[in-house]
Amino acid sequence: MVLRRSEWPAEEELVICTITKVFAQGAFAKLDEYTEKEGMIHVSEVASGWVKNIRDFVREGQKAVCKVLAVNPQKGHIDLSLRRVKESQRRWKVQQWKREQRAEKMIELAASKLGKSLDDAYKEIGSALQDKFGDFYSAFESVAANGKEILADLSVDKHWIDAIGEIAASMVVAPTVEVVGYVDLNCPTTDGIDVIKSAMMGARDLIKTDEVDAEFYYVGSPRYRLKIIAPSYKIAESAMQKAAESAIAAVKKAGGKGEFRPVPKGE
């Protein structure tokens, strides 16, 4: 079972469920991500429109993505909905579920390196990873991108940190982001084109590392598109600023001028 959470789910949360019992007025479903939690899907929340036969839509043993409508810990009640989950939301949740299943296998591998069980892993490091990163796979991605040092502040045995670091380095590809901006470069000298090319190559070499890269594209005089590829937005935006300033400075030194035009995230 992935993500053995002992708390209660939040309203509006998407959850992976297994249908355990179907009856005329609805169905009961076990919440796979939560320990010993079960919810009910009323027949009116099974599908849009009139449901003549509920078994046309759900059956025992079926996996489903549901939305949490209401939670009452005192009574132990969780109300769920199938019909309020959009197809795009269902696909996203299933993808997240598969990521966590893979992450759990990696947690189990880390445990085996220490001669421990998966249950030991949940008790000794699972909660700490969930609290810091939200989910296991995000933890492995962060370690792959930043090294095991990112786990240094966790109150866990150092051997766990070493094992997680080893697994992340060998099995996880660090995530990357792309940030785009524009640089206006103009140099009126006879060798202006060569000056601009040299300035862009110098800027790229300045910020290029094993995890950061820059690409310049000609858009139309005097504009050039600058794309930075990095493991995080913070790193990418810092590298972009540095590359743009370097290119502009080189062009100005040769008698030209330049201006940086960042593009806001999301555009």
- Rounded to an integer, what distance in angstroms lies between the CA atom of residue 219 and that of residue 168? 39
Summarised one tens digit per residue, pLDDT across range 126-147 is 888 888 888 888 889 888 877 8
User: Are 189 and 257 part of one and the same domain?
Assistant: yes
81 lies in the same domain as 93: no
Asked if the model's pLDDT at residue 22 lies above 50, the reply is: yes
Distances (CA, A) of 242 to 15, 81, 187, 207: 43, 49, 20, 7
Do 79 and 125 share a domain, yes or no?
Answer: no
Pair 108, 160: CB distance under 8 Å: no
| Across 138-160, average pLDDT | 88
Cross-strand bridge partners of residue 151: none
Domain boundary among 155, 171, 187: 171
Residues 167 and 182 both lie in one domain: no
CATH code of the domain in which 159 resides: 1.10.150.190
Which two three-digit tokens encode residue 13? 């949360």
Determine how many CB atoms are found less than 10 A away from the CB of residue 255: 11
Query: Is residue 8 one of the residues assigned to a domain?
Result: no
Query: Can you read off the two tokens belonging to residue 131?
Result: 């609290």
**Looking up tokens 């600023």, which residue turns up?**
241
Query: Is residue 4's pLDDT more than 70?
Result: no
On the question of pLDDT at 112 being above 50, the answer is yes
In a domain, 4, yes or no: no
**Does residue 203 share a domain with residue 190?**
yes
Same domain, yes or no: 79 and 132: no
What tokens does 12 get? 């509006």
Domain extent for 44: 14-85
Q: Are residues 92 and 107 in the same domain?
A: yes
Q: Are residues 140 and 95 in the same domain?
A: yes
- What's the total number of domains in the chain? 3
Angle at 136 between CA 130 and CA 139, to 5 degrees: 85
Give alpha helix (H) positions in the chain: 87-113, 118-121, 127-133, 136-146, 158-171, 192-207, 233-253
Vertex 55 angle, CA 49 and 56, to 5°: 55
Range 225-241 average pLDDT: 86
Q: Is the pLDDT of residue 265 over 80?
A: no
In a domain, 5, yes or no: no
Question: CATH number of the domain that 210 lies in?
Answer: 3.30.70.1130
Q: Which of 134, 155, 171 is the last residue of a domain?
A: 171
What is the value of pTM for the model shown?
0.58
